[in-house]
Every structure is written in structure tokens, then in C-alpha cells.
A and B are shown apart, each in its own frame.
Chain A
Amino acid sequence: MSKYYLNYLDELESEAMYVLREVWAQFDNPVILFSGGKDSIVVTHLAQKAFYPAKIPFALMHVDTGHNFPETIKFRDDLINKLGANLIVGSVQESIDQGRVAEEKGKNATRNALQITTLLDAIESNKVDCAIGGGRRDEEKARAKERFFSHRDDFGQWDPKNQRPELWNLFNGKHFEGEHFRAFPISNWTEMDVWNYIKRENIQIPSLYFAHERECVRRNDSWIPNSEFLKLEPNEEIVSKKIRFRTLGDITITGGIESEADTLEKIVDEVSTMRQTERGNRSDDKRSETAMEDRKKQGYF
């Protein structure tokens, strides 16, 4: 075999760097949507690779629901310091206080859907014309149809049936005033690819991904962490379990799995034998068959 070929991780890395450079070249004010989860951390790492030896030219934008894991916020602030990048925070609490959105009511209330308004407001007020996300096509069936460069109209909406064709690696980011784009550099990565890459590159990730003892409650087949926001049902009880999180969202909706995987090697081994998708523990996706598509059309991540 010829020595001039790339292995699959190198090819995915090169593709993502290419996308990030296209974003930088085609837009005036692009940002990275940073959640503190592994996918946006990997995107940020790839941005360092794409622009070395310059520092990353993107600000990091965080939509803060107020329902955070404290570990995520600390991780975010440490990373910002290390990169010397700017941080933009959109606050869901402020959107509520300003009457832009109303808190959901009832037992399964979350702030997940409220983020859409805060995100779109932050994009508009900061004059962002491209928001780079860590979304992957393997995550969810609506995401399987995403482009690398994905157009949003001036209401921030996605029209999945009327997307621009995307051929070869020619990306068209042209847009009118008020419209913006979402860019997804790791579209073609799977959960396994992300973990293999984190391991290979030895990328720092929040401790929540590693198995640890935590107070939690059994709900909808997963372990919901105890927090100041948790309201216990009569038949529920707090127990201490060794768990870890496969994805990170709000502390109120992110369920953990029982695990002994406390190193990257063990996590990669564990993920490779998983028989459930990673978003299976996310109650935001369980609301309906098309929950993701419906939110994405409105402007969700």
C-alpha cells in the first residue's frame, strides 16, 4: 500500500480544519458555540490546529441556562484563560427576567427549549454571522441531513427541505443582512471517533465524563444527578452511585450511566461496547419522535 494515505482520524481532522478555515475566510464575525461538552471541546481543539501558530480567531459563545454542572463552568473558564479567547455568555435567566421567555411548568419542566430564544438573541446582539457547532450527523436523524454550512433565515430558522446543495468541498456561505449560518466541522464524526480522537490527542475534558461517586436518583431509566433544581417525586430516593455522563447538557436533564470507566482508555473500551445511543439518556430528545427536528427548525443548536 502507498505511504501517501491518511487514516480515518487524520482524514476527519483534516476535513474539520478545512471547514473551520472556510468559516474564518467567508464570514465576518464567526463564533464557536461552546457548551463545555466533549464535541465543542473537540471543535475548539481543531480550531487551534487550523490556525496554529496564531491563536484561535473565534470567540466562544456559551448559552448559560443557569442549570449548569459547576464543573462545566470551571472547565469553560480555565479553557478561555488558556486560549486567550473571548467569551460571550447568553443568559437564559436574563431572558426570563426580561420576559422574553417563560419558565416551563410541571414535573418535567426544563430550560432546554428556552435556550433557543437566548441563543438567537445572543447571535443577533453580537452581530454573529456564523455560529460553529459540535453537532454530528450520527447523533440524531434530523441531524443526519445537516450540511457543513447550514443556512438560517432572519428569524434564525432552519428549513430542512430547502437546503443549499453542498457538493465536493465547495461551501457557499453567502447570506443577506440578518441571516446567519451554522457550521458543523465534525459532521462526519461518530461518538466513537470523538472518543478515539480525544484519547489520541490527549484532550482535556471535564471530570464529569469519568466515572465518579455522585448522589443521584433513578428516573426514566437513567441516573439524574442531585442538584438544587431537583424536585423529588414521592417514590424517589437519593442514592450514591458510581456513574459517568456520556453527554453533558443541563444538570436537570442529563442522565448518567453506571460505570467504572475512570480513564480515557476505559471510556473508549466502554463506548465501543455500548448498545444505546448517547442521547438515549437525554430527556430533551425523548419528548417526541421529531423533538430534535422541531427544535432545530426554530433555531436550536
Chain B
Amino acid sequence: MIDNNQLLRFTTAGSVDDGKSTLIGRLLYDSKSIFEDQLEAVENTSKQKGHAGVDLALFTDGLRDEREQGITIDVAYRYFTTPKRKFIIADTPGHIQYTRNMVTGASTANAAIILVDARHGVIEQTRRHAFIASLLQIPHIIVCINKMDLVDYSEQAYNKVLEQFEEFSSKLLVKDIRFIPISALLGDNVVNRSQNMDWYQGAPLLHTLENMHISSDINKVDARFPVQTVIRPQSEKFIDYRGYAGRIASGVFRKGDEITVMPSGFTSKIKTIDTLDGALEEAFAPMSVTLTLEDDIDISRGDMIVRSNNKPEPTQDIEVMLCWLNDAPAKPRAKYTIQHTSNEQKAMIKEVVYKIDINTLDRNSEDKALDMNAIAKVKIRTTKPLMVDDYRENRTTGSIILVDDATNETVAAGMIV
């Protein structure tokens, strides 16, 4: 493997019939990422269940209940590597009752694969998946028009789906959409180029995933450093050492940069950027480093170090696109703990502005109940300021979760608008 290889995280959403598990199985199998003993175990289970041939779906369904019911309940992570890239697949169920799992899988993805059955065209589920991908600002969407073998590999059938999709997706904010006609079952345009669709000039799926430009997916402009913890070695060699440990959320920091600590507003300069392997001249997202400053300032977990000429907005009032993740609905004007980067405060949902019907994208100002899987625009008030950016500009400093203090459960996830 080449040292410069990047990591690409992508998500797939889908239900039993649309061939999602077959597609993942095909990617793993054709890229030689399935081990012999795994194959053997799946062959045995397929036989016991009376399936003809190997049921590729069994590679992706892990828990006992899932195997018994033949569905994916949770997010499952899969890994494969090619000579060009390492891939992490967040495999999520596609049914509406698992919206929260799709949102979870989408939150860290560079790319989303949306499967469309060539026979049925764009359906409710397609729209839902595309909406979630755009809501979570996944930079790249690949629409795989699957089961082309069942429509005689017809260019017309492909074009029809493409038109349907484009008509709908014009309402969404997506930077990069591509379309690939495939047959996951037979392998057309998954890893190998199809012999059956000369009319398709683009690359197969794997080639697309391997060569997609992802370096600019991370915000490299706005320098943000949420402090996770303070490093004080208390050893003779580092007697006065005070370092701020964190993972750069976005942007680039250089030695000597003028910085501001938020929310206090104190200013200083970066003295050193430390790592176990030696000090660095500069560091960028998403590196984990330790910063020391020229001046002795009181800084603790939850503070954010930013470059003085480019600061986020400290605010106690945020507007958020919220996805409700819990069985128990939100109580009116309920209080929660809000987590934003390493900062933790108390918060109250002041108002539900509208709820979104994720199949039609219609806004509903009548029904405002925040129940499981609801996606809604809400206004939140926090007890102390958060240093926020718009989620569209910054996925790390633009995202929050809400925790219910009575149960300690994570009940909602939100994107700051």
C-alpha cells in the first residue's frame, strides 16, 4: 500500500429488496476483502436456510436478531482496502423507522451511495435517502441505478431514472452528484466495467470511489481548535509545561499565529505545536496535537482556540435542523444537556418552527411533535455561549447533540443553520 493513501468513509442506505447488501457483498468479494473462513461460514448459513447460492447479505448482517429477521437494524461498519484507498462503509437500514440510523451513518461520511431499482425509478425511499444525504451535507452522492440486467441494460431506462432524480434533487443542496448504471448481482460496473452497456461512458463504482477528490471536503479556511483537555506533565523536565490537547476541527494553525481563546476573548500567540514525534511548524484538520501559547492564560476543556482574524460567533441562541433519535418524544420547553465540540452546557428547546415530511420535503407548521425520527427546525437557548459555525461551512463546529439528564441517553442530533 502506498503511504499517501487516503481514507474514504461512505454510507449506504437501503432495504432488503433494493440490492444494497448484494452491492456491498459484491464490493467486498470482488476487491478480495472477504476471507475464506467468512465465506465458508456464510455458505453454511445460506445452505441451512435453503438459499440457492451464497446469500451475500449475510456478510453485512451481524446481530442474532438481524440474522433471524433478515434485516439490518443498526449501523454496521465494514472495511476494505484497495491499492488506492482504505474504505469504511457505514451500512444502514433504509426504512423510514430507521431514519436515525441513516443520519448516524451519514454524519461522518465523505460520500453516499443511493441505490435506485431501475425497474421502479425514483421512489419515496430514494427521496428520503437523498434528503438525508443533503441534510447531513455529505459532499459526494453516487446514485447507483441497480438491476440494469432486469431492464435489458437499456439506456432509456437509465435516462428516465436520471431525469426523475434530477428533477427532485434540484431542491437539495448537493455539491457533487454522479450516476452509474450497475447490476450488483452480476457485477456490471461495480468493480469491473460492464460489457453490456457500451452507451455508458463513465467509470465503474469502485473506480469512482477510488479517484474521487476528497482533500477539499474538510474546511481548511477557518482555524478552529476545541480544547479537549489540558496537559500538565508535573515532571521535572516539563515543570512549567501547560499544553492544550485537541483535534483541529478545521483550518490550519502555524507556530507564531495570533490566536484568540473563546469565549474569554484573551489573545496570545502559538508558541509550539507538540507531538510525541517532535514539534511541528504547522498543523491542520483533522490532526490531534497539543498547543502551547506564549502567554499564561486560563484555558480549560470546552474553550476554543481560533485565529484572531477569523472567529466563530459566540451565541446562546441557535437555530438547528434537529433529528429526534429517541423513543420518548421531546417534552415542551424541556431542558437537556447540549454537547457542541468539547463544550457542554444546559439547553432548552424554545420553539419548533416546522417539521419536515422527509418523503415530500414539505414543511409542516401544524404538527410539531418531536417524536422518534422527526426532523424539524427548532430554536434552542443555551445557558452559556457556544462558539458555532454554520453546519454547511463546518461539520464539526456546526453540529450538536442533546442528552436527556434523566436517562443519560442521546436523544437528538442537530445541524446549526
Query: Could you tell me which A residues sit within 8 Å of B by CB distance?
Result: 1-2, 4-8, 10-15, 17-18, 21-22, 24-25, 48-55, 137-138, 141-142, 144-145, 160-161, 163-170, 172, 174-176, 187-188, 190, 192-193, 196, 274-277, 280, 289-290, 293
Contact = CB atoms under 8 A, between A and B. Distances in A.
Interface residues of B, number: 82
Given A53-B235, A170-B400, 12 more contacts: A15-B286, A22-B228, A24-B229, A54-B238, A55-B235, A137-B77, A138-B78, A144-B76, A166-B410, A167-B410, A277-B38, A293-B64
Given A17-B288, A53-B231, A163-B74, A175 B35 contact: no
Contacts of B108: 167-169
Contacts of B252: 4
A14 B287 contact: yes
Given A160-B74, A165-B410, A274-B35, A49 B276 contact: yes
A21 B228 contact: yes
Interface in B48-101: 61-65, 67, 73-79, 81, 85-86, 88, 100-101
Contacts of B243: 53
Q: Mostly helix, strand, loop or mixed at chain A's interface?
A: loop
Contact of A161 (B74, B290, B301, B341): B74
Interface of B: 1, 3-7, 35-38, 41, 45, 61-65, 67, 73-79, 81, 85-86, 88, 100-101, 103-104, 107-108, 213, 215-216, 218, 220, 228-229, 231-235, 237-238, 241, 243, 245-247, 252, 274-277, 284-288, 290, 301, 325, 337, 339-342, 395-396, 399-401, 403, 408-410, 413
A1 B283 CA distance: 17
A161 B100 contact: no
Nearest to B101: A165
List of 4 A-B pairs having minimum Cβ-Cβ separation, nearest first: A141-B62, A17-B288, A8-B7, A54-B233
Contacts of A22: 228, 342
Given A8-B86, A14-B287, A49-B275, A277 B37 contact: yes
Contacts of B85: 8
A292 to B, nearest CB: 10
A196 B81 CA distance: 13
Contact of A25 (B228, B396, B401): B228
Contacts, number: 187
B288 A21 contact: yes
Contacts of B76: 141, 144-145
Contact of A276 (B35, B229, B275): B35
B282 to A, nearest CB: 9
Contact of A168 (B3, B216, B231, B395): B395
A172 to B, nearest CB: 5
A277 B374 CA distance: 40
A289 B410 CA distance: 31
6 contacts: A6-B7, A11-B7, A50-B245, A54-B231, A142-B62, A174-B337
A265 to B, nearest CB: 13
A137 B396 CA distance: 24
Contacts of A176: 408
B224 to A, nearest CB: 13
A84 to B, nearest CB: 10
A6 B63 contact: no
A17 B74 contact: no
A17 to B, nearest CB: 4
A259 B315 CA distance: 61
Contact of A21 (B41, B65, B229): B229
A6 B287 contact: yes
